[in-house]
A and B are shown apart, each in its own frame.
Chain A
């Protein structure tokens, strides 16, 4: 299959999808699962007394967990994959973009860059909402993995009062594997 030239400029600067409201508050159980996965022994994530000894109010959330709170969960992930298999798209820009890239054979994905600014530490009970914007979609690039398009997203995270808590730029590559014919 041949790479067709896609016009993807129209996606730059548009809202990617409706705001993602965290399905549950920042909580100790999810934090503990995470710190065990990366074997992080910092006591401020699990021990309220140790956290208070540093001047904090209580345990805090590891900063790298910020995106975890607004993940859609396993059931929704299955639904999105099923729609993708069926070639169906949902009525928002990110779904339309992914669908166009799928149709053109750019079905594989790898994250390449992430940049996060943490405006404050999160604590159990915080309810996070994230606003996603598609910043840009690159022209077709030849990469070591195969031909593809880089997609840059910006994410703005706010707490339950709408106050910003973190900002993020995230870049991924959607590509056609070099070892496959498409």
Chain B
């Protein structure tokens, strides 16, 4: 996929990510995030959540992956802006969808939405370019 192919309105193929407890813990620990809400169900409940939930950095990592799975290795993400909605708990399936919303000669901007069975988990705006632009 080269940048010239990215026209406004182009829709990316969906990505479904099945999240279990281990996925959530692995993401938190790989990013050195030891907040108990990302690994300890008892502590998560005492802090008002029904179970452990995925960290914002892990969501960011999955959004990165989703976009560069599609662009291929030449894609370079230059900016991301994401807002979290409903949390991802163990057993959830995160479905990522994306669409090109803006295009300049050098850059493309995508809107990426991630949903689980309860609703919207994340809304993201991702700007990218090609390293060979």
Contact surface of A with B, Cβ cutoff 8 Å: 30, 33-34, 36-44, 50-51, 53-56, 62-65, 67-68, 71-74, 77, 107-118, 121, 145-146, 175, 177-180
Contact = CB atoms under 8 A, between A and B. Distances in A.
Contacts of B30: 30, 33-34, 36-37, 68
Given A56-B131, A111-B84, A71 B33 contact: yes
Dominant secondary structure at the A interface: mixed
A42 B65 contact: yes
A43 B27 CA distance: 19
A147 B64 CA distance: 32
The winner among A34, A43, A107, A146 for most chain B CB atoms within 10 A is: A34
Contacts of A117: 78-79
Given A40-B65, A43-B73, A146-B48, A111 B56 contact: yes
A67 B58 CA distance: 11
Contacts of A42: 65, 68-69, 73
A73 B73 contact: no
Contacts of B17: 39
B9 to A, nearest CB: 24
Nearest to B34: A77
B132 interface: yes
17 contacts: A33-B30, A34-B30, A37-B23, A37-B30, A38-B27, A41-B69, A63-B80, A64-B57, A68-B31, A68-B57, A107-B47, A108-B37, A108-B48, A115-B81, A118-B79, A146-B48, A178-B48
Classify chain B's interface size.
35 or more
Nearest to B25: A37
A151 to B, nearest CB: 14
Contacts of A179: 48
Interface in B27-74: 27, 29-35, 37, 46-48, 55-58, 60-65, 68-69, 73-74
A92 B32 CA distance: 22
Contacts of B23: 37
Nearest to B27: A37
A112 B68 contact: no
The winner among A51, A53, A67, A72 for most chain B CB atoms within 10 A is: A67
